[in-house]
């Protein structure tokens, strides 16, 4: 039987060649990126944290860089800590647990500076993060020296815990990055002004670590570009990278973006893959140590091309490994069709950004590894899943994996439920990749797929299932607005699907500015139509994760979409819509087409209440309209317990 390496496709084989990094032998070119999880408790590594990392190690990644750990004890945040010996037991348990998987293990050392959740905000200069953030306290020279020492002590603790290397988070607007920024560092002493002075803090940290833990490789994560005009850019990044190499850095990891440009740092699905590779390539041409690239490199051929073309030596996989922990193993074994796709929806990022535990829209195991167990059913049963949205397909998949006889019923011509319409918005096309993956997987598992099939109590009685899982989703809310039944009024999904054609000179009014409303406006404005969103609340984009929402709303305005907030529609007429503005005055908007995007209400109970003599589970939007993560997790819970 051929080995895994022998089955690797020629295109991706380069990803599975070894590499030396500062005296360490990395068995492949894939590194798990350091990503926050909020699985720690008060800064301490938990068993949940360990299970999460062990699951990724088992998937074949050659190197893991554990998420950013805070180096200064007074810093408060959702991250783990590495600021004192009290944190060593958990860190040691984590390293020891990963040793069984032939994986190189590092830890990222982090000081958030002014980007703290709570506690003192400090920075090179008293420049706030934004207009709502507190003004950070400017660090005195003595305090800077103390923080440099904190990094060195943290590196020593990392060595004592058993880590193979340390990485300093010097990007994304955290403290070292903040010092490098000509916009945010306005000091007039030896730490500000020229690039040499702005780089002084980073170089002092690097020297202190190298001196404290000689022989332990130091990786430095740097921004190739801040993504803001006048900020730290690639020419400066190249020069600082050279200087970091000179003082002992063993590798440079090149990212980009800050809090102000999170769509660069944590690119949503509408950002092209490989969008940061050019920065890694520029640094690679300038230094002699290994360079690490990042930025939606979850396409195996693209990741391999980055290495093969010499743009970087190693590839970071971040969200890809949350969605598909077995990405490295499946690629190495040329099982590309089995890869669960990361759709870059940023649900994981959004949750962690709010201080909640990491979860994934496409992988319900993520963040639940300690408890996750797909146990064969004691007694196979007939399971009838009604509805094939995210919840229904996941319930069918896991129920079938457990050995049940499963059928899934969908009234439309293809599986996916509302995923089809959602994936038609220009910013959400990747959603269809997950729909196609799930459809393929449940077919391969032998789920009986019934399309164009309306389920009634009579159909259920004829099928004689043991369990009916009702995952019929939700239906659009249609409020009693005068004129809402007019011929020019349509559900927003009809515009997304192309069932209603919009002419370039049409005036389109979208009533409702949540996710569906904004996505409809985005889709329609591309036709050249004049588009207005009317929303009762103070803002639009509710239901869209924060990074995508910020970028989408900005693009809508840039595209000419008119957004009316705190406005209530009071009547729809043949060629216009009447609404009450924030001052209580009645206004009119010309309207050739009206699209309704006013939310959803569950429809599952209607069927469930008609079923007698059979076990019934109602889940997902059929029970309570919620987001993608909740739907997939609800489906998983059903599939694991039926």
Give CATH 3.50.50.60 domain extents, the chain: 489-598
Place of tokens 């869209």: 544
User: Would you call 598 exposed, middle or buried from its count of C-beta atoms within 10 A (0-12, 13-18, 19+)?
Assistant: buried
Mean pLDDT, rounded, of the chain: 93
| Separation of alpha carbons 430 and 417, rounded Å | 15
> Which part of the chain is CATH 3.40.50.720?
382-473+628-641
Q: Report pLDDT digits (tens) over 573-594.
A: 989 999 999 999 999 999 999 9
Give pLDDT, residue 119: 77
d(CA 483, CA 261): 43
Give the separation between CA 592 and CA 596, rounded to whole angstroms.
Answer: 13
User: What pLDDT shows up at residue 6?
Assistant: 44
DSSP character for 80? Answer: -
Q: What is the pLDDT of residues 303-335, one digit of tens each?
A: 999 999 999 999 999 999 999 999 999 999 999
Residues forming CATH 3.20.20.70 domain(s) in the chain: 4-353
CA 174/CA 196 separation, integer angstroms: 19
**Of 460 and 604, more confident:** 460
- Note whether 604 and 472 are within 8 A (CB): yes
Using one digit for the tens of pLDDT, what is the confidence trace for 346-372?
Answer: 999 989 988 899 999 999 999 999 999
Which band of pLDDT confidence, cut at 50, 70 and 90, is reported for residue 620? low
Task: Kindly tell me if the per-residue pLDDT of 460 is higher than 70.
Answer: yes
Can you read off the two tokens belonging to residue 136? 């950070």
pLDDT at 205: 98
Residue 415 contacts residue 435 (beta carbons within 8 Å)? yes
Q: What is the mean pLDDT of residues 220-225?
A: 98
Residue 240 has pLDDT above 90, yes or no: yes
pLDDT over 70 percentage in the chain: 98
Fill in the DSSP letter of residue 337: G
* pLDDT more than 90, % of the chain: 82
Please name the residues in contact with 642: beta carbons below 8 A apart, sequence gap of 6 or more. 377, 381, 383, 395, 399, 402, 404, 467, 469, 617
622, pLDDT greater than 80: no
- What are residue 102's phi and psi, to 5 degrees? 55, 50
Give the span between the Cα atoms of 273 and 433, in whole angstroms.
15
| Number of Cβ within a 10 Å radius of residue 424 | 19
Report pLDDT digits (tens) over 366-396: 999 999 999 999 999 999 999 999 999 999 9
Q: What is the pLDDT of residues 516-535, one digit of tens each?
A: 999 999 999 989 999 999 99
Of 71-75, 400-404, 418-422, the range with the highest mean pLDDT is: 400-404
On the question of pLDDT at 448 being above 50, the answer is yes
β-pair partners for 510: 533, 595
Q: Sheet of 576-580: strands edge to edge?
A: 568-572, 576-580, 586-590
User: Mean pLDDT over residues 145-171, rounded?
Assistant: 98
CA dist list (Å): 562 to 46, 532, 553, 566, 574: 48, 5, 11, 13, 20
pLDDT of residue 544: 87
How much is the CA Rg of the chain, to the nearest whole Å? 27
Confidence of residue 604 (pLDDT cuts 50, 70, 90): low
The class of domain 4-353 in CATH terms is: alpha beta
Q: Please tell me the distance from the alpha carbon of residue 62 to that of residue 630, in angstroms, as a whole number.
A: 32
Is a pLDDT exceeding 80 seen at residue 626? no
Q: H helices then E strands: how many in the chain?
A: 23, 27
Q: What is the pLDDT of residue 603?
A: 73
Q: Which CATH class is domain 489-598?
A: alpha beta
Q: Which residues contact 530 (CB under 8 A, 6 or more apart)?
A: 505, 506, 507, 508, 560
Residues 6+ apart with CB under 8 A from 536: 565, 566, 567, 568
What 3-state DSSP class applies to 341?
coil
Q: What angle do CA 246, 250, 252 make, to 5 degrees?
A: 90
CB-CB contact of 33 with 293 (8 Å): no
- Tokens 């730490």 sit on residue: 191
The Cα 158–Cα 165 span in angstroms is 8
pLDDT at 7: 58
pLDDT at 3: 36
List, by residue number, the catalytic residues: 174
Total Cβ atoms within 10 A of residue 440 = 13
The pLDDT of residue 623: 64
Rounded average pLDDT over 217-240: 97
Specify the DSSP class assigned to residue 44.
B
Burial of residue 18, with CB atoms counted within 10 A of its CB: 0-12 exposed, 13-18 middle, 19 or more buried: exposed
- Residue 4 clears pLDDT 70, i.e. is over it: no
**Given CA atoms 136, 140, 144, 149 in this order, what sign does their dihedral have?**
negative
Between these two residues, 89 and 602, which has the higher pLDDT value? Answer: 89
Could you say which DSSP state residue 357 is in?
Answer: P
Lowest-pLDDT choice from 148-162, 378-392, 487-501: 487-501
DSSP 101: T
Count CA atoms within 13 Å of residue 114 on its CB side. Answer: 25
Specify the fold of 382-473+628-641: Rossmann fold (3.40.50)
pLDDT of the residue at 11: 82
Cβ distance 469 to 408 under 8 Å?
A: no
Q: For 431-509, where are the alpha helices, taking DSSP H only?
A: 431-444, 457-463, 492-497
State the pLDDT at residue 322.
Answer: 98
């Amino acid at each position: 039987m051929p080995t895994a390496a022998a089955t690797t496709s020629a295109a991706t084989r380069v990803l599975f060649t070894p590499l030396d990094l500062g005296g360490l032998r990395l068995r492949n070119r894939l590194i798990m990126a350091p990503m926050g999880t909020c699985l720690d408790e008060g800064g301490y590594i938990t068993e949940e944290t360990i299970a999460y990392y062990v699951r990724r190690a088992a998937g074949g990644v050659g190197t893991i860089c554990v998420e950013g750990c805070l180096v200064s004890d007074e810093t408060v945040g959702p991250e783990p800590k590495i600021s004192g010996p009290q944190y060593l037991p958990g860190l040691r348990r984590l390293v020891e647990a990963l040793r069984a998987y032939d994986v190189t293990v590092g830890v990222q050392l982090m000081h958030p500076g002014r980007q703290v959740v709570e506690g003192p905000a400090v920075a090179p200069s008293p420049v706030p993060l934004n207009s709502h953030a507190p003004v950070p306290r400017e660090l005195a020279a003595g305090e800077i020296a103390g923080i440099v020492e904190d990094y060195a002590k943290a590196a020593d603790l990392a060595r004592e815990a058993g880590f193979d290397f340390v990485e300093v988070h010097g990007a994304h607007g955290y403290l070292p990055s903040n010092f490098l920024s000509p916009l945010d560092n306005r000091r007039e002493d030896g730490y500000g002004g020229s690039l040499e002075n702005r780089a002084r803090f980073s170089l002092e940290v690097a020297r202190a670590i190298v001196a404290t833990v000689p022989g332990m490789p130091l990786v430095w994560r740097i921004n190739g570009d801040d993504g803001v005009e006048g900020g730290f850019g690639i020419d400066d990044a190249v020069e600082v990278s050279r200087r970091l190499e000179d003082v002992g850095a063993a590798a440079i990891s090149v990212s980009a973006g800050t809090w102000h440009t999170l769509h660069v740092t944590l690119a949503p699905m509408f950002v092209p893959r490989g969008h940061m590779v050019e920065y890694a390539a520029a640094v690679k041409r300038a230094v002699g140590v290994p360079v690490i690239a990042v930025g939606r490199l979850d396409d195996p051929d693209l990741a391999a091309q980055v290495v093969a073309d010499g743009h970087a030596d190693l590839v970071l996989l971040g969200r890809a490994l949350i969605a598909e922990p077995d990405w490295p193993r499946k690629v190495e074994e040329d099982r590309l069709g089995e890869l669960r796709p990361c759709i870059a929806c940023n649900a994981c990022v959004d949750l962690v950004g709010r201080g909640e535990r990491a979860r994934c829209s496409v992988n319900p195991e993520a963040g639940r590894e300690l408890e996750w167990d797909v146990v064969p059913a004691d007694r196979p049963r007939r399971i009838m899943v009604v509805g094939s949205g995210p919840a229904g397909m996941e319930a069918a998949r896991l129920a079938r994996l457990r050995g049940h006889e499963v059928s899934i019923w969908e009234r439309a011509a293809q599986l996916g439920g509302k995923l089809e319409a959602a994936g038609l918005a220009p910013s959400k096309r990747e959603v269809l990749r997950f729909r196609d993956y799930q459809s393929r997987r449940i077919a391969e598992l032998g789920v009986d797929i019934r399309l164009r099939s309306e389920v009634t109590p009579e159909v259920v009685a004829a099928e004689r299932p043991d369990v009916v899982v009702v995952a019929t989703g939700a239906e659009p809310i249609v409020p009693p607005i005068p004129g809402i039944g007019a011929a020019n009024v349509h559900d927003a999904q009809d515009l997304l699907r192309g069932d209603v054609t919009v002419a370039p000179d049409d005036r389109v009014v979208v009533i409702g500015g949540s996710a569906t409303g904004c996505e409809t406006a985005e889709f329609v404005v591309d036709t050249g139509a004049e588009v207005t969103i009317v929303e009762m609340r103070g803002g639009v984009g509710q239901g869209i994760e924060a990074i995508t929402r910020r970028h989408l709303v900005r693009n809508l305005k840039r595209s000419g979409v008119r957004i009316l907030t705190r406005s209530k529609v009071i009547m729809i007429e043949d060629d216009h819509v009447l609404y009450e503005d924030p001052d209580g005055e009645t206004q009119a908007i010309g309207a050739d087409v009206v699209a309704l995007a006013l939310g959803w209400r569950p429809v599952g109970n209607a069927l469930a209440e008609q079923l007698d003599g059979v076990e019934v589970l109602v889940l997902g939007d059929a029970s309570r309209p919620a987001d993608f993560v909740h739907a997939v997790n609800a489906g998983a819970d059903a599939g694991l317990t039926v």
